[in-house]
A and B are shown apart, each in its own frame.
Chain A
Amino acid sequence: MDYLKSKTPPVREDRLGTGVAFGGTVQEVRHAQKEGCLNLASRSFSQTQGCQFTLSLAIINTMRNAVSIMHGPVGCGAISIGNVGQSQTFKRLRDPKAEGLFWLSTNLTESDVINGGEEKLREAIRYADKEFQPEMIIIAVSCVPALIGDDVDAVIQELQDEVAAKIVPVQCAGFKTKAMATAYDDVYHGILRQLISHPIRREDRQVVPDDLRDVQRRYRDTRTVNVLNVGTMSRADELELERLLTALELKVRYLPCFSDADDFRYVLESALNVSICGTHDDYFIKHLETLYNIPFIIDTMPVGRRNIARWLRKIAEHFDLQEQAERLIAAEDKALDEALEPLRAQFRGKTAFVGGGEVRVLTTAEVLQDLGFRILGLKVHHYDEFVEPIYESLDDVDDVVLAVSAQQPFEQINLVKRLQPDLYVGHVGGGNISAKQGLPLLPLFGPTFLYMGYGGVYEMARRIQRLMSNYQFNKKIAAHCPLPYRESWYAKDPFTYIKTELEVSTG
């Protein structure tokens, strides 16, 4: 894969045939994906859902020693306001001295729309460099400058020698795609172009020949894996996965979230790139393979016992560590299984609905099945090839309802009302909507909780037990705060407003 010569990555509808609107069963969606006909559907009713700009910030806002510039009108990127406090807290879990979240808005106004926003961008870059002295200045380019044709690359070229920070462009104009996950490609595109180069010598360099040093370095490089983390991971998730890989005597480096520019400088000093979420990482690690010949594994997310084992086995196989891996998996599995047993008794026969990003949703479904839940429905932001390996971990989901829709709570509400699950597991951002159906709600991920690895399964299990033991808050909300949908909506098919391929292409 090599798209780096172009200013922007291709959108995912084109590159991966990503679908954003589909309703049916698991079997049907898998078939449609394989036929390559998922990516053309659209909706005649839609709700606001985020864009590749807002999702880019999910990575950008985690970067340490960085200042971002929201290049657009004053509102673009305001979503960062919600992260001001948390961002600093979570960065400090990685580096106790980390600063908080800083961003500038180029505040494009009507005259800039006419005259171009490049001059304001220059001013903002100079100010960011002088005022904050960051290692990175990340420019998130919104719809307006993309439409008026600001040449951000030219501005960067002009200023890169003038400022000390590395300037990273992220071309993430929201109107370009409905597949928000293109955001990940946008961010990685900027990182690949500006931050990754052949390894430079480290501080431990000596300007003399030294065989021992070279051997040590080679050994280190052959045992180091880059694990591609996601912004929704907690530090506890990272520590849990690190524990498992350390047990295989591997050294772990986490990228790109909560990284600083140095972490990217050393990215090539590794033996393997391991994805946690294919939908998040494939653009980056396929480029690293093409450009720098580093192998990669994109398979499943280490959530749920079967998926963790699968993830570990793939890595172990690469390093010829199968025996050690099997011993580790057997020991971990046994201990967890025993710990889950008393909880399982309480979940037997209960039902659940899971909504959110495709990879999280399907791996979390494995956890729920393991605990004794029956999966009634699934809802994923988008759909592509990256979930295919996860089906092996699931029992009998062919006929389970699957909705492909980013946010779009109207479809979710309709489905949940029909299916009547005992538990709703969902993506953050729609809590107030799901609450109005009066169900206990487990967030699909959370930056202060453990979800991944063996520990994650147990944590989810005990939280679900607690959440289901008393959900009076949501019951009260449901009893007193109505949802905005007409009664007639609940009588209609939840996928009524998905336009077929034909309707879209002709109208």
Chain B
Amino acid sequence: MSKFIDRPRYTCALGGALIALRALPRTIPIIHASSGCGFNVSNATTAGAGYLGGGYCGGTSASSTNVVEREIVFGGEERLAEQIQTTLEIIDGDLYVVITGCMVEMIGDDISVSTNKFAAAGVPVLPIPTPSFRGTSYEGYDMLLSGLFRLYTTKGRQHRKNRVNLWGLPPGQDIFYKGNLTEFRRLLGRIGLDAYTFFGEGEPLSNLQNAADASLNIILSDTYGLKSAEVFEEVHGTPWISVPLPIGASQTANFLRTVAQALKIPDAEVEQVIAEEDARYYDYMERLADIYNDADLQRYAVITGDANYAPSVARFVSDDLGWVPRLVVITDSLEPDDTESRATLLARFEGWESDIRPEVRFDTDASAVVKYLPEAWEPNHNERYYNSLTPLVLIGSVFERDLAIKLNAPLLTLSFPATNRVILNQAYAGYNGGLTFMADLFSALLVGR
């Protein structure tokens, strides 16, 4: 049985789907749920994702059936059909997607009955159930993508050699999703690949429609988006690989090699690109070599984040920045029997260049992080000479602020929720993201200068 969660770092399936829809161009959500569901999750994500905002038709603009007791008793399919009709009348979009909240799922509404009435509407109206008692925002993202790949992506297209799709960064939960996607499109472009990421800068909806012409799907995650990759393969026959989110030069070079290998791109071509990217990257990193060494900016680190960020951030600060991560808390809501995901994630902490091995814990609770500190570092037993866990930097979410104040350590927020900063086009992944991350991290140490 799953347990209660102390301050969840995600919303629900409906929330994940809604924010993903907000991230698609001219895509109109139609929420079939109680009146507060959309409002609640939008407000959570608007603030928590570094002020993502409502966008074209999210936030309080989102169409919603706002079902009340009458529909709960008599069924909500008629109300939904009415709402679809009026939404099409008022809201100007290219794709309409019905998503659901818990109540209408519990009473057994079949939303496809309602959407089928609009088969001749001239624009697609798709039914994608997203009951929130079946998962968090991460699952909602996966449910939405699975639905879109089944219902929206055109079937039977010829696979093209240099076309790939890339996903696995849930919008909002990954507060840097858009900047990151831009960076990966750039990098894949450098090795001759045309990547569709669906949620990236300036990407049209046709990228989602034409997604089946890809010859490979790249899932930038060990855990998110895997189910939709399976659905994609089942429906469109496209193979997929899952790779960890690469942050900084070393991880990103490996990412490029993995992709090149899967697509049989000649080594020489890829190594040439890596050499150029490395040169550019280290030209910037070199700037820090003075202050890093003059001021001894090596730090211990405690890292809290989701399954995408926590392992990659820890490895980045260890293997690229030469820091000493001591504790990593992975905050996903994993089923207790999900040993496979845990094993995959734990393996990401092996084989580091630095030979450092932080303590890794899986815990959903915001109050848990502090409890693992004594396991990661010997507490002070009132010794005369105590080797303390200082100087320390916390990398996590805004939930770690109280701990940062208690430990008198700077905090850089990069995981959801991050209500204390604004994220626009920044990336924290890839080569460029590594540089931005580095700049923010060291800036946090130098605010007093």
Interface residues of A (CB under 8 A from B): 43-54, 69, 72-82, 84-85, 100, 102-113, 120, 123-124, 127, 131-132, 143-144, 147-148, 174-178, 180, 406-407, 409-410, 429-430, 432-433, 481-482, 484-486, 488-489, 497
Contacts and interface: CB of A to CB of B under 8 A. Distances in A.
Contacts of B92: 484-486
Quick one: which of B1, B6, B31, B66 has the most chain A CB within 10 A? Answer: B66
B3 A429 contact: no
B254 interface: no
A49 B41 contact: no
Given A74-B5, A109-B2, A429-B43, 8 more contacts: A47-B61, A49-B39, A51-B34, A75-B11, A81-B48, A81-B417, A106-B4, A433-B60
Given A82-B46, A113-B133, A432-B53, A175 B103 contact: yes
6 contacts: A73-B12, A84-B417, A100-B402, A144-B133, A147-B106, A175-B34
B83 interface: yes
Nearest to B28: A484
B65 interface: yes
Interface string B80-124: 001101110111110000000011001000000000000000000
Contacts of B10: 74, 78
Contacts of B106: 113, 144, 147-148
B322 interface: no
Nearest to A67: B6
A132 B366 CA distance: 12
Contact of B36 (A51, A107, A409, A481): A51
Contacts of B2: 107, 109
Given A77-B40, A105-B4, A433 B59 contact: yes
Contacts of A85: 398, 401, 419-420
Nearest to A45: B86
Interface stretch (B67-75, B175-183, B285-293): B67-75
B44 interface: yes
B36 A108 contact: no
Contacts of B37: 48, 51, 75, 174
Contacts of A51: 34-37, 39-40
Contacts of A106: 4
A143 B399 contact: no
B261 to A, nearest CB: 38
Contact of B102 (A124, A143, A485, A497): A143
B60 A49 contact: yes
Given A49-B35, A82-B48, A75 B132 contact: yes
Contacts of B93: 484
A404 to B, nearest CB: 15
Contact of B398 (A48, A84, A178): A84
Contact of A107 (B8, B72, B402): B8
Contact of B103 (A52, A81, A147): A147
A97 to B, nearest CB: 13
A49 B66 contact: yes
Classify chain B's interface size. 35 or more
Contacts of A484: 28, 56-57, 61, 91-93
Interface string B12-43: 11110000000000001001001111111111
Contacts of B42: 48
Contacts of A82: 43-44, 46-48, 419
A386 B40 CA distance: 27
Given A81-B48, A107-B8, A177-B68, A54 B40 contact: yes
B62 interface: yes
Interface string B388-429: 000000000011011000000000000001011000000000
A430 B59 contact: yes
Given A106-B4, A124-B4, A47 B36 contact: no
A148 B72 CA distance: 12
Contacts of B41: 75, 78-79
B4 A123 contact: yes
B189 to A, nearest CB: 27
Contact of A486 (B43, B89, B401): B89
B304 interface: no
A397 to B, nearest CB: 26
A45 B103 contact: no
B254 to A, nearest CB: 34
A105 B36 contact: no
B64 A48 contact: yes
A102 B366 CA distance: 9
B83 A44 contact: yes
Q: Which 3 A-B pairs have the closest CB atoms?
A: A51-B36, A75-B12, A48-B38
Nearest to A52: B36
B227 interface: no
B136 interface: yes
Interface in B363-408: 367, 398-399, 401-402
A110 B133 contact: yes
Contacts of B420: 85
Given A82-B44, A85-B420, A410-B90, A74 B11 contact: yes
B264 interface: no
A465 to B, nearest CB: 27
Nearest to B82: A44
Contacts of B66: 43, 46, 48-49, 178
B419 A84 contact: yes
Given A48-B35, A105-B5, A175 B72 contact: yes
B48 A44 contact: no
B449 interface: no
Contacts of B40: 50-51, 53-54, 75-79
Given A84-B417, A100-B402, A143-B103, A432 B59 contact: yes
A368 to B, nearest CB: 24
B12 A74 contact: yes
